[in-house]
Amino acid sequence: AQSVTQLDSHVSVSEGTPVLLRCNYSSSYSPSLFWYVQHPNKGLQLLLKYTSAATLVKGINGFEAEFKKSETSFHLTKPSAHMSDAAEYFCVVRGVLSGGYNKLIFGAGTRLAVHP
Amino acid sequence: EPEVTQTPSHQVTQMGQEVILRCVPISNHLYFYWYRQILGQKVEFLVSFYNNEISEKSEIFDDQFSVERPDGSNFTLKIRSTKLEDSAMYFCASSAEGGSTDTQYFGPGTRLTVL
């Protein structure tokens, strides 16, 4: 079965320092992976997605993620945090044909705090 | 930029009452979804809907739940007899075409509180 594990429930960084949000996936097939962000009182917004093209995926707001099959990881990074990056981040994998192709399977989320 | 909208933003109801949560998907999208997030838990898939019928549903989506696209713009989730454990944030999503590269766009959610 498909699943994702977000390794940190909370991450705190200072403004201007790098961000690393960790995600490991489990999949029997070549996965489709996503990162979504949720700001307070807002919907879930897609940051980026991996669908078996380039392993380094660039998203919005300066975020990027690298798909590493050998490590079953899809960590989200940003070189320099901004106060507006404070939000909850979800690592997501798509289900497979035999088990729900159009459903998304969410990780538990990582809450990112950015301090001045 | 087109977006998914949901109403109401917050619904409070008594246990045993029926509730209808409403969503307006992005206008040219063909696939529609409901997810929920119980406080402190993961976002969970409930159901997907395509071509006026349910295409997939989770074990959570039992006979108390139903979905409908009553007209060309709305997509609704009905809970017939609410239970305390139905209290959650309910997210609607839509996507253009399904498939491995498809992106689901989410609404802001409806917070359902069952008393």
CA distance A79 to chain B (A): 25
Q: What is the pLDDT of residue A100?
A: 54
- Say yes or no to pLDDT of B9 above 80: yes
Using CB atoms, which residue from B55, B101, B105 is nearest to A51?
Answer: B101
Pick the closest to residue B3 from B104, B97, B98 (CA basis).
B104
- Which chain B residues touch A90 with a CB distance below 8 Å? 43
| Whole-number pLDDT of residue A97 | 58
- Residue carrying structure tokens 């209290």: B87
Q: How far apart are CA B95 and CA B72, in angstroms?
A: 15
pLDDT of residue A28: 74
For the stretch B90-105, pLDDT in tens is 999 999 987 767 889 9
For residue A59, the model assigns a pLDDT of 95
Q: Report whether pLDDT(B10) > 60.
A: yes
Instruction: Test A44 with B106 for CB contact under 8 angstroms.
Output: yes
Q: What is the pLDDT of residue A41?
A: 75
| Chain A interface mutation, best of B10, B39, B95, B100, highest count of A Cβ atoms under 10 Å | B100
- How far apart are alpha carbons A29 and A51 in whole angstroms? 12
List of chain A residues whose C-beta atoms are within 8 Å of the C-beta of residue B103: 34, 46, 49
CA–CA dist B72, A61 (Å, integer): 34
**Which residues in chain A have their CB less than 8 angstroms from residue B56's CB?**
100-103
Q: Contact B108/A42, CB-based, under 8 Å?
A: yes
Residue in B4, B42, B56 nearest the CB of A100: B56
pLDDT at A101: 63
Chain A residues with CB under 8 Å of B42 CB are 106-109
In this complex, do A90 and B48 lie within 8 Å of one another by their Cβ atoms?
no
pLDDT digits (tens, 9 = 90+) for B32-72: 999 999 998 999 999 999 888 998 899 999 999 999 998 87
Q: How far apart are alpha carbons A53 and A50 in whole angstroms?
A: 7
For residue A65, give the nearest of A41, A101, A44, A89 by alpha carbon. A89
Nearest-angstrom CA–CA distance, B105 and A30: 22
Place A52 in a pLDDT band, splitting at 50, 70 and 90: confident
pLDDT one-digit tens code per residue, A7-41? 999 999 999 999 999 999 998 777 889 999 999 87
Task: Indicate yes or no: CB of A101 within 8 angstroms of CB of B107.
Answer: no
Most A CBs within 10 A among B4, B45, B47, B60, hence the mutation to make, goes to B45
Q: What is the CA radius of gyration of chain B?
A: 13
Nearest by CB to A102, from B4, B31, B101: name it. Answer: B31
Provide the percentage of residues in chain A whose pLDDT is more than 90: 75
Q: Look at residue A99 and tell me whether its pLDDT is greater than 90.
A: no
| DSSP per-residue codes, A35-68 | EEEE-TTS-EEEEEEESSS-SEEE-GGG-EEEEE
- Using the predicted structure, report yes or no on whether residue B15 has a pLDDT greater than 60: yes
